[in-house]
């Protein structure tokens, strides 16, 4: 078991956690305002694709970052249009937005790079990657403080708990929900940027369920930014551990470890039962 808690292991756990953390924070932003977000998976994916396209087209990692975040925001805007402006069902539209991201990234992969599997390799982005890693932790703390200690944060929470109450004191609901949803697009998009940078390019369906893990982490963390951060680190640590054990020839089945975050979340939901801490007006 030597080396399990080594620096390399911790670093690997952190690297695995970064997209989870960013997407989960996005989930918190959206869901605390009352909008369910199962489109996180799609936002991660378009973020990664945007980052690859931006970086390849401009040769600049920074442009890649910008393009990735913008792509996430664009998908979030489409989602917001459907569920905030037109009040369509949030779960159906979340599934659709993710399907759209899957199809569209593969379509444009073919159009831009004539490939069904991956983009060309993008140039080194190491410095920016580190910045994102540090940024993710800072963002979690910032989000926690922002929700509790700013007027906007209070209003966002109020809108997610009881929109009529907010409306009755002159707080407009839709702009705050837009804020939450667009923020979730930006954050999950940034998570996608990290993925593309970390793997030096875009691969079809490279989000591979990470958006749903982030959703699970957000629930496990009680819809609080720091709680979600903790859950993400837990999931990331478990995954890193699995990789370690696998390479050392021992360990549980890979599938079981993959399933672990989801199983933990199901158990947590079952234990927590009806005393849920979910925002009251979620999904309305």
Cα separations in angstroms, 145 against 152, 189, 233: 11, 22, 20
Site string for other proteins, 162-181 (x = CB under 8 A): x-xxxxxxxx----------
Binding segment for other proteins among 55-63, 124-132, 226-234, 252-260 (CB under 8 A)?
252-260
Number of neighbouring beta carbons within 10 Å of residue 89? 13
Contact status: 149 vs other proteins (CB under 8 A)? yes
| Residue with smaller CB distance to other proteins, 127 or 255 | 255
DSSP line for 157-200:
HHHHH-HHHHHHTT--HHHHHHHHHHHHHHHHHHHHHHHHHHTT
Q: How far apart are alpha carbons 242 and 240 in whole angstroms?
A: 5
CB of 230 to other proteins, least distance (A): 18
Q: Binder to other proteins among 118, 199, 246, 258 (CB under 8 A)?
A: 258
| Residue with smaller CB distance to other proteins, 93 or 139 | 93
Contact status: 87 vs other proteins (CB under 8 A)? yes
Instruction: Please tell me whether residue 203 adopts helix, strand or coil conformation.
Output: strand
Tokens of 70: 């913008």
CA quadruple 263, 269, 271, 277: dihedral, nearest 10:
150
Q: Binder to other proteins among 103, 120, 123, 175 (CB under 8 A)?
A: 103
Binders in 208-247 for other proteins, by CB under 8 A: 209, 212, 215-216, 219
| Residue with smaller CB distance to other proteins, 31 or 197 | 31
CB of 163 to other proteins, least distance (A): 9
């Amino acid at each position: 078991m030597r080396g399990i808690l080594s620096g390399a292991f911790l670093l690997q756990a952190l690297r695995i956690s970064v997209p989870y953390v960013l997407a989960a924070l996005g989930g918190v932003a959206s869901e605390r305002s009352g909008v369910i977000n199962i489109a996180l998976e799609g936002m991660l994916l378009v973020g990664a694709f945007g980052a690859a396209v931006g970086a390849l087209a401009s040769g600049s990692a920074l442009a890649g970052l910008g393009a990735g975040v913008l792509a996430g925001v664009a998908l979030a805007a489409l989602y917001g249009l459907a569920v905030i402006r037109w009040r369509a069902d949030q779960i159906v539209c979340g599934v659709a937005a993710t399907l759209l991201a899957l199809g569209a990234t593969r379509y444009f992969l073919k159009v831009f790079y004539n490939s069904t599997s991956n983009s060309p390799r993008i140039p080194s982005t190491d410095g920016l990657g580190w910045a994102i890693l540090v940024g993710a932790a800072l963002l979690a703390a910032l989000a926690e403080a922002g929700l509790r200690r700013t007027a906007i944060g209070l209003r966002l929470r109020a809108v997610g708990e009881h929109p009529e109450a907010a409306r009755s004191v002159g707080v407009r609901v839709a702009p705050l929900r837009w804020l939450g949803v667009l923020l979730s697009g930006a954050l999950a998009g940034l998570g996608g940027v990290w993925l593309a940078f970390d793997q030096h390019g875009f691969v079809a369906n490279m989000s591979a369920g990470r958006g749903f893990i982030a959703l699970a982490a957000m629930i496990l963390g009680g819809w609080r930014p720091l709680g979600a951060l903790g859950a993400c680190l837990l999931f990331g640590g478990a995954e890193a551990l699995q990789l370690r054990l696998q390479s050392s020839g021992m360990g549980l089945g890979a599938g079981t470890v993959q399933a672990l975050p989801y199983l933990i979340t199901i158990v947590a939901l079952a234990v927590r039962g009806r005393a849920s801490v979910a925002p009251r007006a979620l999904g309305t």
